[in-house]
Amino acid sequence: MNLKKVTHSVFGTMLILAGGSYAFAQEGSGAGNPIKDQNVAQTVTSMLPGESNFMVVGLVTFGFVNQTTANTLGGVKTTDKSNSIGDADRFEFSPMFLWRHGDKLLLEFEPSWDGNFNGQLGVNWADVSYYIAPGFIARGGYLVLPFGTYTKRLAAGWINKLPSDPIGTDMAGSDFGVELEGGFPLGSMKWSYDVSLSNGFQLNNNGTLSSVGINAINNGKTFCGRVALLPLSNSSLEVGVSALAGSLATAQGATFSNINATDTKGPNVSMFAVDLNFVHNLNPVQINIKGQYSSQMVSGMNYFDSSISSTPYTFTNNTSTYFGQLSIRPSKSNNKVLKNLELAARYVNYTSPKQSAWGQNYSEMDFSLDYWLSWRTVLKLGYESLKYDGTTSQAVSSGLDGTHTDINRLIIQFSTEF
């Protein structure tokens, strides 16, 4: 969708209608003023190319989930079955408000109601963009950080070809900051960049990270950036590399400390990701391959958490996740039903720190049969098989082998962009 053309068309029509109504009212009252009418027409015409325009778009995702969960702990297995209309991870209503002033300035605000809202409103992003020049866009506000490709480009339900998001792809998340992005041709190739400076994260007492929000409690800031190359002249292949680095805030009353007692440096975090997107047409079938690997590393610290241990403990605070996805669609088929069907499959692997409070080895296999009602409206029938083993220090210290969980889900989901 060309936002500029659409907004010009919509608001141009509104202004023309407003001008026409004004002229008609003048004629009907018998008080016609050719000079005033001419001024109105000139004003309307001059406003068409550039003044303030407003648009509302957004997305809706809704569905049904039937789930079976089997937990094994200490040799004892328990099974639970449940079903829900619109479960917490697969329901969302997110209108997006766009206000464009002239050709340079764009304001974006996307609130969100999802399955965890409990009557409260969340915010996906809220920022202002300034188009400096071709290839240079400056942005500030509450941003989706440019780490990997999934969170910023693929997470919307009408874009995602499967009913759920792969775990761990949002490790960088969103933050308050400033951003510069753009792209340029490189011979027959293209490349793009997206860099940001934001408030960053806080290290919690158990080793997890949380956003410091708008009231940063540390002086350090977090740098994040992604550079991508489209090496083929038809732009069918994109390969991206992302990095994030910054110091971690320490809240008042924190119970963790440096492993080396003489070290006065605070904790820090670094992240790295590579991603791939490939689209190829083998008439009449279109093949789409996507993948991303992400890792997070937090500097070594001594932790104290009474729910885990009565004494300080430490662990290698590294997290990694990756997914690979393949979808096939006979988009050039002559059959009107078959051409709208798409089969998608995805494998996800997630490993969080062993001996931490949230340690686990996790894997997931997803399948989905999608029917595209239009280019932005899709009905999905999905199946998910999840397996994970707990690797927490609590399980080890209590003499247990840890927890093993199997989850199987059948999902019917409808998603559209409006």
Query: Domain residues of the chain, as ranges?
Result: 1-51, 56-95+145-417
pLDDT band at 107 (very low <50, low <70, confident <90, very high): very high
List of residues 6+ apart from 219 with CB closer than 8 A: none
pLDDT at 232: 94
Q: Is the pLDDT of residue 369 over 80?
A: yes
Structure tokens at 195: 């860099």
Please give the structure tokens belonging to residue 71.
Answer: 């937990």
> What is the CATH number that goes with domain 56-95+145-417?
2.40.160
Q: Work out the pLDDT band at 122, boundaries 50, 70, 90.
A: confident
Is 70 exceeded by the pLDDT of residue 277?
yes
More confident residue, 102 or 16: 102
Mean local confidence (pLDDT), 168-195: 94
Choose among 389, 396, 405, 400: nearest CA to 308: 396
Name the band, by pLDDT with cuts 50, 70 and 90, for residue 103.
confident
Task: Please state, in angstroms and rounded to a whole number, the distance separating the CA atoms of residues 199 and 214.
Answer: 7
State yes or no: pLDDT of 333 exceeds 50: yes
Partners of 201 in the beta sheet?
211
Tell me the average pLDDT across 21-33: 37
349 CB-contact burial (10 Å; exposed 0-12 / middle 13-18 / buried 19+): middle
202: left (phi over 0), alpha (psi -120 to 50) or beta: beta
Quick one: pLDDT at residue 18?
Answer: 36
Q: What local confidence, expressed as pLDDT, does residue 330 receive?
A: 96
Of residues 18 and 308, more confidently modeled: 308
Residue 113 has pLDDT above 90, yes or no: no
Predicted confidence at residue 121, as pLDDT, reads 78
**Mean pLDDT across 77-81:** 92
- SS3 at position 299: coil
Look at 90-104, 233-247, 331-345 and tell me which has the smallest mean pLDDT.
90-104
Q: Is the pLDDT of residue 36 over 50?
A: no
Distances from the Cα of 115 to the Cα of 54, 123, 169, 376, angstroms: 28, 14, 19, 22
Pick the more confident residue, 166 or 29. 166
Q: If phi over 0 gives left and psi between -120 and 50 gives alpha, with beta otherwise, what is residue 187? A: left
